[in-house]
Amino acid sequence: MKIIGLTPLYDVAENRLFMLRKYIELIERNGAYAVILPFNPDMKFLEEIVDRLDGIVFTGGLDVAPSYYGEDKILECGISSNIRDELEFNLMDICYQKDIPTLGICRGLQIMNVYLGGTLYQDLKKQKTFPSFIPKTNHTTIWFTRLRITECSKKNSATNFM
């Protein structure tokens, strides 16, 4: 069976790691073992761990620190964790170099985007004006204006993840 690593979620206020059971259940339901990765950003340590995995899921959670995409933090930006950012950018570096399949969920997609040179809005309401025809709801509305894929690897496609 394949082994899929999960980046741990981190509660800054409580200084604790945790994992959503749903992530583990979905991986197991698809015939793989789920392993929660240690909270250690050391590259040598991470390389040894990654060499034993068949893929990594970058989970959701805190905001990515704006310094990673060349911006100063604005007041409206959410909480971030320097150690989690360092851990996940180091993991991305290893996965990218070794062509390890990855899947990003929410924050995980933001990590991938920034790692590959993209930027983020720190606060959509403060930094982006949306067309008036988008309905106003209590839910966050994501509006994609452009999507450009510049490089793709069959090994890393979502259908070949597990």
4-36: pLDDT as tens digits = 999 999 999 999 999 999 999 999 999 999 999
Q: Is the pLDDT of residue 162 over 60?
A: no
Whether 65 has a pLDDT exceeding 50, the answer reads yes
Q: Are 76 and 125 in contact (CB under 8 A)?
A: yes
**According to the model, what pLDDT value does residue 147 have?**
42
- Prediction pTM value: 0.80
The encoded tokens of residue 29 equal 């339901």
* 154 pLDDT higher than 60: no
Q: How high is the pLDDT of residue 129?
A: 79
Beta bridge partners of 5: 35, 56
Contacts of 89 (CB under 8 A, 6+ apart): 68, 111, 114, 115
Strand residue runs (E) in the chain: 2-6, 9-11, 16-18, 32-36, 55-58, 102-104
Q: What is the pLDDT of residue 138?
A: 54
Q: What are the backbone angles phi and psi of residue 132, rounded to the nearest 5°?
A: -65, -15
Q: DSSP class of residue 75?
A: T
Percentage of the chain exceeding pLDDT 70: 80
For the ranges 76-80, 89-93, 135-139, 151-155, the one whose mean pLDDT is highest: 89-93
Distances (CA, A) of 30 to 9, 19, 36, 158, 159: 22, 18, 17, 13, 12
In the structure, what pLDDT confidence band is assigned to residue 145 with cuts at 50, 70 and 90? very low
Residue type, 115: Y
